[in-house]
Amino acid sequence: MKPDMLLWEETLFKNRDLFELDYVPEHFDHRESQMNSLKFCIKPAFQGARPVNALCLGPPGTGKTTAIFKLFEEIEAHSSKVVPVHINCQMDYTKYAVFYQLYKKLFEHAPPSSGISFKRIFEKVARHSADEGIVLVVALDDFNYLFHEKEVDHVLYSILRAHETCPGARMGVIAVLSEPALNYVFDPRVTSVFQAEEIAFPLYTRAEIGDILNRRAQLGFYPGVISDPVLEMIADYTDKSGDLRVGIDLLRRAALSAEKRASKSISKEDVESSYEKSRLVHLTYALKSLKEDEQKVLRLAAERGTSRAGELYEQFKQETGIGYTRFHEILNKLDAVRLINTDFSGSGTRGRSRVIKIRYEPEEILKRIGG
């Protein structure tokens, strides 16, 4: 066997976990000002007051979720009276689901399974916060998943007005949104209490991308696995995509490609052949959250490219027999998770008609959902 060939039990990975998209790095570089802003918002909680609400805004793959996890690690190391709870709104997108998670965190077990009402869970959470002098810091990650059916208003209202129903309860919110700006219009009763401090997470610069990927490669691969020119190539691809997760995924896939060839080092060809799968990692991530009927609407929309809601509904109804109310909910969700745009045009049989446009190349979607 050639000296540069891997033995079957050998691997290029010193630590595979470093290339998982949900890995929280020990060193979180190039986000010092954002971390300081978050700490400023949390500071009142350590004096027993409600924290300042925060809104973390920025494109996907700019460190927002990692910042929350790093902040929460620090909070848990310093205080038992400030309790941070991370909510993944892709999974928990109703006020009941959010308070279910708060209950689990506070009491270290799930609520009784025998159809307990939201009111009961809410009261137990709020009362525990008041009686024990606990301040809850609730991170609503992927906040846009709450936008459809205006669930976000119910969630924020319940959290931020808890002290009115239960004096002494203290809760604050950190909302995380993968957009450069917040375009949602809140219920006025929510606007009056949310008033969040906006914390911007801009795209990483090319130099910052190179630095982060280099550190990840040094810690995650054995020496000699990746050369500087190959690392530069990955950094260039990442910079072009505007999403750091693409680069991290590309490091992993390129190394797997090299292992498949039984090579001890990653080649430029490994990077090129892996890029196609890595470049739309955020699309793959969004599609995972869709139910079967939601995927069907997306597939029909992708096949048409641009269509009016009425035409799309007729086809959807023909294929599934599902009513308009559910179709309307699906459109709102697909819009909220940034897979489609739904704009109103001036024409239509009832005045205004929704025009559905896909945010990605239709073939990219069809390829991933088997269209």
Could you tell me the residue ranges of all domains in the chain?
A: 32-200, 204-279, 290-368
Query: Quick one: angle between helices 95-107 and 151-160, nearest 10?
Result: 40
pLDDT of residue 15: 97
Of 334 and 5, more confident: 334
pLDDT of residue 282: 81
pLDDT(371) > 80: no
Which of 21-25, 144-148, 189-193, 247-251 has the lowest average pLDDT? 144-148
Work out the angle at residue 132's Cα, subtended by the Cα atoms of residues 127 and 133, and round it to the nearest 5 degrees.
Answer: 100
Chain-centroid distance of CA 304 in Å reads 28
pLDDT in tens, 136-167: 999 999 999 898 778 999 999 999 999 999 99
Report the alpha-carbon distance of residue 287 to residue 197 in Å, rounded: 31
pLDDT of residue 1: 47
**pTM of the predicted protein model:** 0.86
pLDDT in tens, 96-117: 999 999 999 999 999 987 778 9
Of 281, 307, 292, 288, which Cα lies nearest the Cα of 362? 307
Report the alpha-carbon distance of residue 325 to residue 240 in Å, rounded: 40
Report the alpha-carbon distance of residue 318 to residue 100 in Å, rounded: 37
Report the alpha-carbon distance of residue 40 to residue 52 in Å, rounded: 8
Report the alpha-carbon distance of residue 342 to residue 321 in Å, rounded: 22
Of 34, 23, 64, 151, which Cα lies nearest the Cα of 99? 151
Residue range 24-49: mean pLDDT, rounded: 96
Beta strands in 113-265 (DSSP E): 135-141, 170-177, 197-200
Give the confidence band of 349 by pLDDT, cuts at 50, 70, 90: very low
CATH of domain 32-200: 3.40.50.300
Give the confidence band of 7 by pLDDT, cuts at 50, 70, 90: confident
pLDDT(286) > 90: no
Query: CA of 271: how far to CAs of 205, 226, 276, in Å?
Result: 21, 11, 9
**CATH architecture under which domain 290-368 falls:** Orthogonal Bundle (1.10)
pLDDT of residue 171: 97
* Strand-pair category, 82-88 with 306-308: unpaired
CATH of domain 204-279: 1.10.8.60
